[in-house]
Amino acid sequence: MGDGRRPLIALTTYHEPSTWGVWRDVPAALLPWAYVQRVSDAGGVPILLPPVPSTVPDVLVRVDGLLLTGGPDIDPERYGAPRDPATQPPRVARDEAELAALAAAERHGLPVLAICRGAQLLNVSRGGTLHQHLPGHAPRTPGRYDRNEIRIAAGSRMADALGESASLCCAHHQGIDQVGDGLKAVAWAEDGTIEGTEDPSAEFIVGVQAHPEEDSETAALFAAFITAAG
């Protein structure tokens, strides 16, 4: 960046009813703290981006990178598929806002780290499709993460940061089916499920199906992302 300023990183957020203190089921823009902590630890300045589509263009011209976070399932209408009974209700505004944020980030040449839902959204944005239900990948205990062994392609940005194999925290029941245009699969679970994608033509556009924010051993991935934004 050259001026000593820490890179500003937009982190997409949930819009869900939440409870804290005396308040019950209040609509809130929220995000697990681990995302914020990892970006800050890596040298970035986290900025929360609520799912308000009209605000996205004004934010993306002011930041240096975009982190697409995890969350509920993407509406299968976005990739032309009928809804599976296991697919969660759509979050229309969040889908719209995050697709707009991703398009703006790519237009401005910003680095993008896409995690779990984010990796799926990246794939859908490029015309790819999703498996709507992978029961073998859902966590054994809802609200917990399971560790899965991941194989990573040599020479990929993921491998540069994490090595050619890693044990990563996972919690998902959907995953990438057909890989979107311009993306390359670079990581796989033991059963062949795609666990990582990258755009080789971009400085840094990486999708990770797992949750690296939950594991301090993945700090190098966040460091690479923040370095690309610097």
Which residues are marked as active site? 116, 211, 213
Helix (H) or strand (E) holding 146: strand 146-152
> Which are the contacts of 49, defined by CB distance < 8 A and separation ≥ 6?
10, 11, 12, 13, 55, 56, 59, 97, 101
Distance CA 81, CA 30 (A): 29
Cα dihedral 49, 172, 177, 76 sign: negative
> What does residue 210 show for φ and ψ, rounded to 5 degrees?
-75, -175
Helix (H) or strand (E) holding 27: strand 23-30
Distance CA 196, CA 37 (A): 22
Burial (Cβ within 10 Å: 0-12, 13-18, ≥19) of residue 144: exposed
Whose tokens are 């263009």? That residue is 57
Distance CA 212, CA 180 (A): 22
Do 156 and 186 meet the contact criterion of CB atoms below 8 Å apart? yes
